[in-house]
Chain A
């Protein structure tokens, strides 16, 4: 219908003079390619690499792991991702595999770009690989070079040179303190129960954390605890290693989606943590937590974008190969309108995310805007994808309903979208929300 139209862009360009031809775009390439060109060269490489990796390793695993996550051994996949350099992407050399120059412009863009590709194939496996960075982020943001040397350097060397991955997890959520610890207003009254009691040479941790992504498989966990008898302003980040006495993994939650990554309960029963395992400053945990969330929200937004893109791509495939009344679905104008609508949303979400990553430091309001917008749009796009597939939209085998289940979590974690709305206003409130006070 469009390919042989002599009035189309491709043919009409031919009638232009040479200089005109140079000034107009007659190419037919995918938006993915158009967008990739916008990225710095090294980030383009990561994007292509992540796409190849996710098609090679995540796509074949995704349906089975979603059906039965409990029999899945994630270690080979993590090892492979480490070999490809994805598990150390949070820092540039010598602490990680990120490209240095783009990193100096944006600390989050490279992970965000990778997150989209991973999540396009499988939300659960994407979370499995990406939650590790959330655990590493407090070490990075501690801004303490000895901490980097002590923890990040060996992690990178072990992974990149010897192929032995170290998996980390980030533990802030507690049974009675979920949204509270993701919002600076709510945190004042938060009912935090994990406490650290000072003893000779370190601290004793007690309490329970819940819903910790990768909690069951992590070798090390960055755990936030308040100093006993004090409030949330005493929150301190401790690095707890697997095998420490008193540290155990409790129940694994049964989730609706993103099932390949565990969400586990972590139990701290008189766990002794030496002083050298304090990340950042004593009582500096709240600042770390807030900034880790600002770092991770664009990445969650990129995951949401990936889920939506996955749903779109699968629905597109369905429309290309299925007939309705003897005509391919894709050849119906109504279907084309719906697909175009989905593409508009996908493209605007991607630009919002990349825009939020455009600063060297993660900006609170931009991060939250990206997270809220991307996750809301992702759920909408997944529903649209299901709708154009008719009754087949609900079938697990097509993968679109899975994308909806996966996308729904992005409206909840890293602060619910309601909490993120507070974060946007909190950050902008003192600016009077105006560009100019004239």
Chain B
């Protein structure tokens, strides 16, 4: 298993932080609390050019070390770097971090299957139906009721996917006893409509396919396990980044706002909120950055635990941070409400706590 020197990991963090400070910061302003999407194409171009975003193109700067780039196939440090980059991006804007995550996961699938693609904008449908699939059906997909048809074309009536103005699409589907990725290198025949969501707005689509398949890739269970694990770890990293920035904001606010004739940082109830938030964030950070890279199924188990714990703790931490702001926290101006929505969205998507608990229990039983 290859490793990256610590200095390289730090470099990725600094690179991402400097991109956030220089460019990403302008994505959110008072008129666009969820992001000014007209700036998104130039931001994506920039992030691709400096190698933050992974692309399935060998000449792209992010091919190897971008988020979920080629090196993450077998390097724990490359995975760590991806998580650090996602968390750093999320400190400034969780929506952008999520988009980078989705781009990374799709690029990763293509890279693994040696398919080249130079597009920026994917649509990722991890599973056409209820997500995550029932634990036993993960290993035996034939149990899953099929709601698509593949004859000459691939047809699904509706399905939920993530991305932004997609140019290509990947759908993960169960087919008889195995999983398959269906790849479309064009979205011309896919009808997709944006869905308004709680947080991470502007990146969820309802898609209807009646399209020609470019590639149909059979996937072994190990790859599916890794895909799920990376997806969950990424969500946990973004949640941790959001919580860290919310905490920082709350701490600054507590040092500026006067109530009861004193700065609110001196008020016991505010200290308790901040203390609780800090503890939750530290625990989720430690959980996130100390995962063990064993085989794919043990990574999946760790990732499930980390997703459950980190998103739950971070969601609680952000609730506490919002409370420090009082009424101001509920208004769009301070940006905390967006962090609250974004983190709760990450808590729910890709396996809400309710489903994750069952998953973890079933994995344990299996052992």
Number of chain A residues close to chain B: CB under 8 A: 57
Interface core residue of A180, A210, A256, A334 (most chain B CB under 10 Å):
A256
> Given A390-B131, A396-B195, A412-B323, are A253 and B331 neighbors across the interface (CB < 8 Å)?
yes
The residues of A with any CB-CB pair to B shorter than 8 Å are 67, 173, 176-180, 183, 185-186, 188-191, 210-211, 253-257, 263, 322-326, 334, 338, 379, 383-384, 386-397, 401, 404-405, 408-409, 411-413, 416-418, 421-422
| B240 at interface, CB cutoff 8 A | no
User: A255 — which chain B residues lie within 8 A by C-beta?
Assistant: 330-332, 337
A325 touches B197 (CB 8 A): no
By Cβ-Cβ distance, the 8 closest A-B pairs, closest first, are A189-B261, A401-B198, A387-B352, A418-B269, A256-B337, A396-B196, A186-B260, A387-B354
Task: Return B35 CB to nearest CB of chain A, in Å.
Answer: 15
| Interface magnitude class on chain B | 35 or more
Please name 29 pairs of A and B residues whose Cβ atoms are closer than 8 Å in the assembled complex, sorted by A. A178-B328, A179-B260, A186-B259, A186-B260, A191-B261, A253-B331, A255-B331, A325-B134, A325-B143, A334-B354, A383-B344, A384-B354, A386-B352, A387-B353, A390-B348, A390-B351, A391-B350, A393-B352, A394-B345, A394-B349, A397-B195, A397-B196, A408-B340, A412-B326, A416-B323, A416-B326, A418-B323, A421-B269, A422-B269
Task: Please determine whether B197 and A394 come into contact, CB atoms closer than 8 angstroms.
Answer: yes
Taking the closest CB of chain B, its distance from the CB of A67, in whole angstroms, is 7
Closest Cβ neighbor of A253 among chain B residues: B331
Chain A residues near B258: list those with CB within 8 A. Answer: 176, 191
- Whether B323 lies near A391 (C-beta < 8 A) is no
Kindly state the separation between the CA atoms of A263 and B259 in the bound complex, as whole angstroms: 21
Which single member of B33, B195, B326 contacts A254 (CB below 8 Å)?
B33
B329 at the interface (CB under 8 A from A): yes
Contact in complex: B145, A254 (CB < 8 Å)? no
Residues of B within 8 A of A (CB): 33, 130-131, 134, 137, 143-145, 160, 195-199, 204, 258-262, 269-270, 273, 315, 319, 322-323, 326-333, 337, 340-341, 344-345, 347-355, 358
Residue in A189, A390, A405 whose CB lies within 8 Å of B355:
A390
CB-CB under 8 A from B33, the residues of chain A are: 254
Question: By the criterion CB–CB under 8 Å, are A338 and B354 in contact?
Answer: yes
Chain B residue numbers with a CB within 8 Å of A253 are: 331, 333
Looking at the assembled complex, report how far the CB atom of B41 sits from the nearest CB atom of chain A, in whole angstroms.
Answer: 25
Across-interface contacts of B348 in A (CB, < 8 A): 386-387, 389-391, 393-394
In angstroms, Cα B197 to Cα A67, docked, is: 11
A211 to B349, CA, bound (A): 33
